[in-house]
Amino acid sequence: MAIIITDECINCGACEPECPNTAIYEGADDWRYSDGTDLEGKVVLPNGKEVDADETQEPISDEVYYIAPDKCTECMGFHEEPQCAAVCPVDCCVPDEDHVESEEELLGKQAFMHHN
């Protein structure tokens, strides 16, 4: 399951540098699948979606920080818990019920994005 940032976000920015997948962006900022990952060019994501990793994507939120769900692994493969939630002073980084994934799927996504 990906993490989502709720509209209670105070835009403090504490979460953004903690994300090992560079999946967190400031509101209104464009994002790319290639940001902070080993992805480049045309790729097929583990969920079957075909994307150009270097192509700019539209912001998911214009108001508050947001998490790109296709890049969120809940920090699996890096940490014991989602780091955004661990550092958030207002507890607005919560599980995203619209993007439920198993531990196996999250680890597979992490391995796909980081070819180590």
Determine the average pLDDT of the residues in 14-40: 97
For residue 24, name the pLDDT band (cuts at 50, 70, 90): very high
At 41, is the pLDDT very low, low, confident or very high (cuts 50, 70, 90)?
Answer: very high
What percent of the chain is predicted at pLDDT more than 90?
A: 95
Kindly indicate the confidence band of residue 7, based on its pLDDT and cuts at 50, 70 and 90: very high
Structural contact between residues 79 and 71, judged by C-beta atoms closer than 8 angstroms: no
- Write the CB contacts of 57 (distance below 8 Å, at least 6 apart in sequence): 30, 31, 32, 33, 68
Determine contact, residues 97/1, Cβ cutoff 8 Å.
Answer: yes
**What topology does CATH give the domain 3-113?**
Alpha-Beta Plaits (3.30.70)
pLDDT at 27: 96
The separation between CA 88 and the C-alpha centre of its own chain, rounded to angstroms, equals 15
> What confidence score (pLDDT) does residue 115 get?
87
53-75 residue pLDDT tens: 999 999 999 999 999 999 999 99
What are the structural domain ranges in the chain? 3-113
Handedness of CA 92, 68, 2, 86 (dihedral sign): negative
Q: State the average pLDDT over residues 48-53.
A: 96
- Beta-carbon contacts of 25 under 8 Å, excluding residues fewer than 6 positions away, are 16, 31, 59, 60, 65, 66, 67, 68
Whether residue 116 is predicted with pLDDT greater than 70 in this model: the reply is: no
Rg (CA), the chain: 13
